[in-house]
Amino acid sequence: MPAITLAGKQFDVDENGFLQDPAQWSDEVALGLAQTEGIEKLTDEHWKVVRYLREYYMKFHVAPSIRMLCKQTGLPLKQIYQLFPSGPAKGACKLAGMPKPTGCV
Amino acid sequence: MELDTIKLCCAKCGFTIEQYSATELAEVPRKAKRYKYLLQKSSICPACLASGRLKEVRVTRESATAPPGGPVQPSAAAPVAHERHPEAPTPMLDALERGRWPSHVTELRQTRYPLQMYEQSLQRRTTQWDYGGYVSLPGVAAGVLVRASARPEITKGSNFLRIMDPCGNFFKTDKLRRLCEIAEKYAYGMLHLLSTGGDLEMLGIPTENLRPAVAEIMAIGFDVGSTGDDYRTSEECIGPAQCDLALYDTLGFREAWYKRFLDDVQYPRFPHKVKCKFAGCPNDCVRGGQKSDFFVCGVFRDLPAIDQSRVKTWVDQGGDITTVCTRCPGGCLSFNNGDGLRIDGDSCLRCMYCVNKVPGVRPGGDRGVAILVGGKMRGKFGPMLGKVVVPFLKAQPPDYKEVFDLLERMTEVYDEHARKKERVGDFLLRIGLSEFLRLAGVPVSARVVSQPRINLYYHWEPEEIKDERTAVQEVGPPQAGV
């Protein structure tokens, strides 16, 4: 099991760098994960997406569809790709501390 | 020296991602499977973020600090060399090279394609390629396709790029030559021209080479994409560029389609892939009715226009008009020397049979497009034919607003209501055509029902049909239907 050190703490991650235990997530962890994703600074829009994903995941234990994400955050899909270069599934979900969503994106 | 531990490390920084003991691998099938899987897929290193295949490091008991035995990847710089494929005799492929026709094996032999994969497929009577996936590449939202290999000892897998072809698949030779150079430099050294989806595929690009390859392709003026749950590259018939039957400008239509929907081609957002095909006439050379989720087909609404003198000349020269009349699917053709060729307007299906067979019969003048939804070959409920949703719509260049608005409405309905990984055809079957029409805001008419009368054009009123050609030839008067 690989591990990663963020904000002075050790976390278990899978081979793609997703947190194994979503309960360990905190704002500092998100900041640390952003560094690994190559995002330098988290803007309000980043937080909006991450918080929405987090909220949805804690409620339904599954990642929302891309359409839901765009609709609820009010951001167009293109902008989400600009905010998270590796895409909403791989990038944004990693920051939100969720396991890697299934599917192709 | 006894083998003790096998570590899977990042190829760049050497970060250990997983490790197994040799006994574990031999005894626990689950671990062996996981190990095999990790070896053949590309992973992102959590320490240095380099993405690529993992390096295998074998640690022996005697020398715990022995140099890694796995293949050493050269660092960055120029194109990364391809993995070496093992050489072995190829009896099955040799058989395919005999004969006086061009052999695909001869072509493949000259490239870096792992020929043993093909040979083994033939010997074992099943393909040796495995289910693939996507490698994410920043800047290419749709990702890059990867075909995994079930035989990692031959090849670890193969990434391939889809290059969006220009409308009509017209390539200027020098641009194609530059694409060939890129394929020679970064890929297997061959192009797949063209895939069944109508786009150009560049096979076998190592993950490290993807970024420079995409950059060079973009520099020529092509674009990559068309993978994942988005609009796939559309396919259109050659249309007015070369064909005498095109009922609307398929090439211009697709150009306008790209202009409007390019974001949906590049950024996946739909529940499943969506394919669009554009055919110029009901002959449907692009097989859109069977293969595409949204099929735009050129149609005419009035009757075929007949040039009686040309028909007569053809008959006098020995044209078999009797067979044509008896084989007419609607049974509406009749011919006698006095009246010439007559068409019974009530029964005509506008199927193009007489247009294809008899010189002098041309499609009618009231032209537009029909939109069919839900054709597919795979998916939950198996192969389906497209259903007619709109039997006739005027296609107005340059922006084809009416048609595209309708397409957009229908994709929005699909996006909003379909389940994950549900093709349009399955979605249509689940909710029903009437519900789909209500959601998409298409008025229900007698011409659109889930089990249509065989002749969709029966209900057109004569006043609904008008010949809009600017220069109408001197032909017999078009007979209005009904």
Interface touch A90/B136, C-beta < 8 Å? yes
The answer to the question of residue A24 being in a domain is yes
Find the range with the poorest average confidence among A32-46, B60-74, B90-104, B445-459. B60-74
Inter-residue contact B386 to B289 (CB < 8 Å):
yes
The answer to the question of residue A102 being in a domain is no
Give the list of residues 6+ apart from residue B372 with CB closer than 8 angstroms, or none.
B288, B289, B294, B295, B297, B386, B387, B388, B389
Average pLDDT, whole number, for chain B?
Answer: 83
What pLDDT was estimated at residue A91? 83
Inter-residue contact B386 to B424 (CB < 8 Å):
no
What pLDDT was estimated at residue B71? 35
CB atoms closer than 10 angstroms to residue B95: 11
Read off the CATH number of the domain in which B202 is found. Answer: 3.30.70.2500
pLDDT digits (tens, 9 = 90+) for B327-344: 998 889 999 888 899 998
The answer to the question of residue A75 being in a domain is yes
Does the pLDDT at position B1 exceed 50?
Answer: no
Q: Please tell me whether residues B199 and B312 are part of one structural domain.
A: no
Q: What percent of chain B has pLDDT over 70?
A: 90
What pLDDT was estimated at residue B308? 93
The answer to the question of residue B106 being in a domain is no
pLDDT digits (tens, 9 = 90+) for B173-217: 999 999 999 999 898 888 988 887 788 899 888 888 888 899 999
pLDDT band at A105 (very low <50, low <70, confident <90, very high): very low
Domain span at residue B34 reads 3-60
The answer to the question of residue B266 being in a domain is yes
Q: Please tell me whether residues B269 and B341 are part of one structural domain.
A: no
Q: Which chain B residue lies closest to A67 (C-alpha atoms)?
A: B269
Q: Please tell me whether residues B317 and B428 are part of one structural domain.
A: no
Q: Please tell me whether residues B323 and B439 are part of one structural domain.
A: no
Q: Please tell me whether residues B138 and B216 are part of one structural domain.
A: yes
* Cis check: omega of the bond before B67, within 30 degrees of 0: no
Q: Please tell me whether residues B287 and B390 are part of one structural domain.
A: yes
| Domain stops at, among B60, B80, B108 | B60
Which among A1-5, B46-50, B116-120 has the top mean pLDDT?
B116-120
Active site residues of A: 104
What pLDDT was estimated at residue B48? 73
Total domains in the fold of chain B:
4
| Partner residues linked to B44 by β-bridges | B51
What pLDDT was estimated at residue B480? 52
What pLDDT was estimated at residue B474? 55
Q: Please tell me whether residues B378 and B271 are part of one structural domain.
A: yes
Inter-residue contact B423 to B272 (CB < 8 Å):
yes
Q: Please tell me whether residues B294 and B150 are part of one structural domain.
A: no
Residues in chain B: 482
Can you tell me the ipTM of this complex?
0.73
Of B261, B71, B93, the C-alpha closest to B152 is B71
Please tell me the distance from the alpha carbon of residue A36 to that of residue A7, in angstroms, as a whole number: 13
Does the pLDDT at position B66 exceed 60?
Answer: no
Which of B152 and B66 is assigned the larger pLDDT? B152
Strand locations in chain A, DSSP E?
Answer: 3-6, 9-12
Read off the CATH number of the domain in which B431 is found. Answer: 3.30.413.10
Alpha-carbon distance B411 to nearest alpha carbon in chain A (angstroms): 12
Alpha-carbon distance B442 to nearest alpha carbon in chain A (angstroms): 23
Please tell me the distance from the alpha carbon of residue B196 to that of residue B189, in angstroms, as a whole number: 20
What pLDDT was estimated at residue B338? 86
**Mean pLDDT, residues B367-372 taken together:** 92
Longest dimension (CA), chain B: 103
Residue to substitute from A86, A90, A94, interface B, most B β-carbons within 10 A: A86
Which of B45 and B165 is assigned the larger pLDDT? B165
The answer to the question of residue A10 being in a domain is yes
Does the pLDDT at position B414 exceed 90?
Answer: yes
Interface touch A70/B46, C-beta < 8 Å? no
Q: Please tell me whether residues B252 and B288 are part of one structural domain.
A: yes
Inter-residue contact A87 to B141 (CB < 8 Å):
yes
What pLDDT was estimated at residue B472? 61
Q: Please tell me whether residues B347 and B248 are part of one structural domain.
A: no
Q: Please tell me whether residues B356 and B371 are part of one structural domain.
A: no
Read off the CATH number of the domain in which A18 is found. Answer: 1.10.10.370
Q: Please tell me whether residues B167 and B25 are part of one structural domain.
A: no
What pLDDT was estimated at residue B327? 92
The answer to the question of residue B257 being in a domain is yes
pLDDT digits (tens, 9 = 90+) for B370-391: 999 999 988 888 898 888 899 8
Interface touch B139/A85, C-beta < 8 Å? yes
| Domain stops at, among B192, B224, B256 | B224
Total domains in the fold of chain A:
1
Inter-residue contact B179 to B263 (CB < 8 Å):
no
Of B93, B329, B143, the C-alpha closest to A87 is B143
Of B41, B35, B40, B1, the C-alpha closest to B18 is B35
pLDDT digits (tens, 9 = 90+) for A18-42: 888 888 888 888 888 888 888 888 8
Interface touch A105/B143, C-beta < 8 Å? yes
Which of B444 and B455 is assigned the larger pLDDT? B444
The answer to the question of residue B104 being in a domain is no
The answer to the question of residue B80 being in a domain is no
What pLDDT was estimated at residue B65? 37
